[in-house]
Amino acid sequence: MRCEKMAAPPPPPPPGGSAGACMGLRRRCQRLLYWVPVLFISSILCWSYYAYVTQLCLLTMTNIGEKVVCLVAYHIFFMLFVWSYWKTIFTLPMNPSKEFHLSYSDKESLEREPRGESQQEVLRRAAKDLPIYTRTMSGAIRYCDRCHLVKPDRCHHCSVCDKCILKMDHHCPWVNNCVGFSNYKFFLLFLAYSLLYCLFIAATDLQYFIKFWTNGLPDTQAKFHIMFLFFAAAMFSVSLSSLFGYHCWLVSKNKSTLEVFRAPIFRHRTDKNGFSLGFSKNLRQVFGDEKKYWLVPVFSSLGDGCSFPTCLVNQDPEQASTPGALNSTSKNENHLFPAKPLRDSQSHLLTDTPSWSETSGKAEKGKVGMSNPALTMENET
């Protein structure tokens, strides 16, 4: 009898196939859930527009002049609120540029070396030409093992976005985005214009709220909208005023929310005011040099998000210093100086100090930064 050769059975599916599909489905569901707070704010905003414009202005107000003034002012606040909120949500967080990513050879060396001083030696070699001032609590180079990069100053890894975010402040669920270098100005304007929006509604709605409350006006469909509109505007005004005041304080001190809870650690010591250059310069770092752009939701922040002027008191022995810096320390040990050349985009903040004005310009010529941080965004792989 002739035996026929049996066909080989098909290979079994990979063991992790179903688990991987479940993980992918769970991530997609999580992404959808992250948009729930944004949809909630958007629905409140849409209802407030209908309640104020239709029920209050068009149907309740009888004075034509008051009606026109309220409608014009309301739409200005509404437009600025929506514009800044939109920019905060849809401005992509900036990630560290390619120079902070480890090369293939450095990655291999880091994987081969045991944890400890040998790994730190690899990271020190990779970071020797980078404008990095801060360290970990143990004094080591800040490194992200998920993104495989040396972390720039004020950069942190967001567990929600799973990326390293430049000058990360916090991950805000109300905008479903990380608030960092690329959109911090937009976030501040969003808080400011939302506060003004709520205060304007509460102020112009107050007299009609009192009239309905005291039965001074007949019961109509507008009664519910006008009374609830005042309660909502007053409630949001209280919460927004405290949050906006807190972030104004952060800007004045040149701090982020993360740096308040954990002060930046420099090579010489921990310094909670290490990045503060004074109120005026701190304000310019966020809003830029041109005041005409300060109140408009367009990107005008100074720098590239990877390097920041600091107020270092002691020189970092691992950083290459400029001759001007050495001369300044020989004259006065407590004189402030930059330990490494800064980027062109922010070095002019330090030109008010005479000892920096000549040395910083020469040292920066060899540094290449991002010319437009609003357009240059690296995606993590």
Give 340's contacts (C-beta < 8 A, 6+ positions apart).
131, 132, 133, 316, 319, 320, 321
Task: Say if residues 336 and 266 touch (Cβ distance below 8 Å).
Answer: no
What gap in Å lies between CA 71 and CA 76, rounded to an integer?
9
What gap in Å lies between CA 63 and CA 44, rounded to an integer?
27
- Distance between terminal CA atoms of the chain? 59
Active site residues: 172
CB half-sphere exposure, 150, CA atoms < 13 A: 29
The number of beta carbons lying within 10 Å of the beta carbon of residue 376 is: 13
DSSP states of 96-128 as a string?
--GGGBPPHHHHHHHHHSPTTHHHHHHHHHHHT
Task: Say if residues 167 and 181 touch (Cβ distance below 8 Å).
Answer: yes
CB half-sphere exposure, 173, CA atoms < 13 A: 8
Query: What are the structure tokens assigned to 182, written together?
Result: 């690329």
Find the length of the chain: 381
Which helix or strand (DSSP H or E) is residue 49 part of? helix 36-49
237-254 residues labelled b (16+ CB within 10 A) or e (exposed): beebeeebeebeebbebb
C-beta pairs of 31-36 under 8 Å, 24+ apart in sequence: 34/160, 34/173, 34/176, 35/176
Residue 267 amino acid letter:
R
Residue 196 amino acid letter:
L
Query: What are the structure tokens assigned to 100, written together?
Result: 């902070």
